[in-house]
Amino acid sequence: MTTKLASSNELVFVDDDEMEVMLIRQYLERSQIENKLLAFGSGEELLEHLSAITDAADGHPSLLLIDVRMPSMDGFEVTEAVRRLPNYDELPPIIMFSNSDNPADIARSKEVGADEYVIKPTDGPAYIEFLNSLVPEG
């Protein structure tokens, strides 16, 4: 994993699946991550939140973890929209998060501006390992 948390600001998770949000909250408590989790159930909610942030230096989330498959606005569309916002062309880092290992999805994630594409872990220990990999060394 090369993408790391960029600051002590919130880790943002976007997923329409409430069970997935509950799981990440549980696994975060058992991980080395100290950042607060901010979860959104849709891309529209995320974009509304990001648009309201006026101070780019202090307001950027530390990292965006965006589910690929969501109704209304999928993760690719969300990522494109985030990258078009003022001051969001490069930061924060974006990880597309999916159950799909389809090479077309992986390639598209790069095209829309994601920093990395990660297949969702299938069990607790793997999830915690993934979360710990986001912590910068040092």
Res 58: pLDDT:
62
Is pLDDT of 72 > 60?
Answer: yes
Distance, CA of 138 to CA of 134 (rounded, Å): 12
Backbone angles phi, psi at 43, to 5 degrees: -65, -35
Does residue 90 lie within any of the structural domains?
yes
- Element holding 11 (H helix, E strand): strand 11-14
Res 57: pLDDT:
58
| Predicted model pTM | 0.93
Q: DSSP readout, 59-95?
A: HS-SEEEEES--SSS-HHHHHHHHHHSTT-SS-S-EE
Question: What crossing angle do the helices spanning 75-84 and 43-52 adopt, rounded to 10°?
Answer: 10
Q: How far is CA 95 from the centre of its chain?
A: 5
Res 137: pLDDT:
85
Res 55: pLDDT:
60
Q: What is the mean pLDDT of residues 9-38?
A: 96
Q: What is the mean pLDDT of residues 72-76?
A: 97
Does residue 1 lie within any of the structural domains?
no
List, for residues 38-68, the tens digit of each pLDDT value: 999 999 999 999 988 866 556 789 999 999 9
Res 71: pLDDT:
94
Percentage of the chain modeled with pLDDT above 70: 95
Do the beta carbons of residue 11 and residue 61 sit within 8 Å?
Answer: yes
The structure tokens 């990258």 sit at: 83
pLDDT, mean over the chain: 93
Res 97: pLDDT:
96
Range of the domain at 76: 11-133
Q: How confident is the model at residue 87 (pLDDT cuts 50, 70, 90)?
A: confident
Number of domains forming the structure of the chain: 1
β-bridge partners, 120 = none
Does residue 78 lie within any of the structural domains?
yes
Does residue 102 lie within any of the structural domains?
yes
Which CATH number does the domain housing residue 69 bear?
Answer: 3.40.50.2300
Does residue 77 lie within any of the structural domains?
yes
